Chain A
């Protein structure tokens, strides 16, 4: 007993150190898992208020850029209106039923907290369950794919960014239609990697990469980026580097896309597995 006490007295710092490190590693292993963002979410609820304030200030300084973006988007939309209104001269106009035939529902949201410099990046948006958002909805910027919602509180949602080692996306080459799996390798914030494209497919730089819609999360045909380079490692597949269209450093306005028929599709698919 005496020896034990002596031992404890001699090494008490080491013991405290090991206990504290043990607690820290417990946090790391439980808290950083993809599914355990729910834990982070609770803490985010506290800090989100502070971050909202910081963000309000920052958004004020960015008004000039945002104005520019809105102007360009306005002109684009006006062009589309112009094109559509010409066709109304036709005798019969096809009307798509927006109540019963709607497949996707769009929401807009603002990014209030963002990170791009970690290996597993998440960002927070200012809409949550109260606004109709739920886990597994797709998030896009005006330019292209941005991420997937992994956690929702009443007023905020945490989104797993495309710049996250755990992110997987089914994507295809627009010109040829061959699809593969897109992920981020943790190096460059502007480059993702598309794999599983078979070797016989013709790939060239500048090809457009878009989503396939197979996963029932993203709608079909949303821009991901363009091919900047490719190589053929030993196997049967290409490794294609894709320049991501979305600029995550200035991500601000995002669109959240909910698939209204997702449950139907996944239930049907699961019943055959």
Chain B
């Protein structure tokens, strides 16, 4: 029980540091802001109870908000991502279901499954985040473009990180 908690705390700290120190400083022409910390929500185990998942999402978003100085934006987007995660997992479940006791990882379920999973999660999160940030529907398509470009980069980085994790 203790070891997984410790492991996930470590992943959490590393992802937050990556986001704050590295990815918050990445931007190309104002359209691309990758938000990679959402990977933490992706990596939580299948059996986690929904309320705990929501709570963890809430505090992940809150932490990022503290560092970005944008109260509530990341929190609400991440809580939404945590809320839809069980539905997305059910939607893309392999034919014979998930193996009990396993984590959502690329090693067990393969590249295609993990990519589909991260695309659905990241796009949900980024859609919510960017529209909450703009808070209006004028410039709808410009915001959509930012969502698509940023999601593309976030997903790429998440896949890279997951690949690096697999190599270890």
Contact = CB atoms under 8 A, between A and B. Distances in A.
Contacts of A188: 30
A27 B71 contact: yes
Interface string B52-90: 001101100100011111111101100110010000000
A187 B71 contact: no
Contacts of B133: 118-119
Interface residues of B, number: 31
Nearest to B78: A24
B10 interface: no
A122 B51 CA distance: 35
A193 B72 CA distance: 29
Given A13-B50, A25-B76, A119 B70 contact: no
B96 interface: no
B92 interface: no
A189 B83 CA distance: 34
A170 to B, nearest CB: 25
Interface string B21-58: 10000010010010000000000000000110011011
A47 interface: yes
Interface in A3-21: 12-13, 16-17, 20-21
Contacts, number: 83
Contacts of A40: 69, 71
A48 B27 CA distance: 21
19 contacts: A13-B50, A16-B50, A16-B51, A20-B55, A20-B75, A21-B80, A23-B75, A24-B76, A25-B76, A27-B65, A27-B75, A28-B72, A43-B69, A113-B69, A115-B68, A116-B27, A117-B27, A119-B135, A187-B139
Interface of B: 21, 27, 30, 33, 50-51, 54-55, 57-58, 61, 65-73, 75-76, 79-80, 83, 132-135, 139, 142
Interface of A: 12-13, 16-17, 20-21, 23-32, 39-40, 43-44, 46-47, 54, 113, 115-119, 122, 186-189
